[in-house]
Structure 1
């Protein structure tokens, strides 16, 4: 049975939304980005939700936050 599709507007800076839009399209995640409108994505699975979170986090987190996350992941893998 196919899971329902959830449409969600993403709160992201206007200057970053086109970059997010294009990256999500590369990941085959349906999304819509019209002029003067928020980015709207279709979340079809948990994997899609994680990918959306990851893409937006890369643009909204500081460099230090991203470094700390990588270091925590690295230490957990050891």
Structure 2
């Protein structure tokens, strides 16, 4: 059974990421006009309003936190996925 995505948005998510990447991710989300903040506790809080923002946030976090090999594997899977 597939988990379903709750689309009762907006939802604020707290993302645990290394502090060295937090500000770079924050500024990239700001460039994309995705509501986010970096409170004093060191977390990154992101408000997700729709599925497009969800995909963008996931992609940006992955870009900054995944290893090179993980990114290469992900890109290869994308290239090999047949179009419907």
Where on the TM-score scale, by shorter chain, does this alignment land: which range? 0.7 to 0.9
User: Counting helix residues as a fraction of each chain, which structure ranks higher?
Assistant: 1
Contact in 1 for aligned 2:13/2:48 (Cα 8 Å): yes
Work out whether 1:4 is the aligned partner of 2:9.
yes
Q: TM-score, normalised on structure 2?
A: 0.81
Q: TM-score, normalised on structure 1?
A: 0.86
User: What's the counterpart of residue 30 of structure 1?
Assistant: 35
User: How many residue pairs align between the two structures?
Assistant: 76
1:7-58 C-alpha deviation (Å, 9 max, x unpaired):
1111100110000000001111000013443010101011111111100011
Structure 1 outlier segments of 4+, above 6 Å: none
User: What's the counterpart of residue 23 of structure 2?
Assistant: 18
Structure 2 gap segments, 5+ residues each: 1-7
